[in-house]
Amino acid sequence: MIQSLFYFLLAGLCEIGGGYLVWLWLREGKSIKLALLGWLILMIYGMVPTLQPANFGRVYAAYSGVFVILSLLWGWKIDRVVPDRFDLVGGLIILVGVGVMMYFPRS
């Protein structure tokens, strides 16, 4: 489970970080070098979920929940937008769903 959580974290950082670098290029007028680095990181993101021990649909569905949480954290720490109580409650609901989908024992 620890390894699986690490892969979710790594995938999230690659997707959000790579997307953010492209965002900086397109929206903030930063160097094309940031976009190229972002695209490379996004390609790596495409490979990381394949390391998960579950099927494609389950991995991507669960990862969507992790992505929501990491996006809120990124916005809070990088863009300085503090999540409100509804973000926190929604995030908790999502994390419970991810836990059930990925780690609940199946027969």
On whether the pTM is more than 0.85, the answer is no
Q: Tens digit of pLDDT for each residue in 36-60?
A: 999 999 999 999 999 988 889 888 8
Q: How far is CA 21 from the centre of its chain?
A: 15
Domain residue limits at 58: 2-103
Sign of the four-CA dihedral 85, 86, 87, 88: positive
pLDDT band at residue 1 using 50, 70 and 90 as cut-offs: confident
**Residue carrying the six token digits 């509804």:** 86
Tokens of 5: 């959580």
The pLDDT score that the predictor gives to residue 47 is 95
Count of the separate structural domains present in the chain: 1
pLDDT band at residue 102 using 50, 70 and 90 as cut-offs: confident
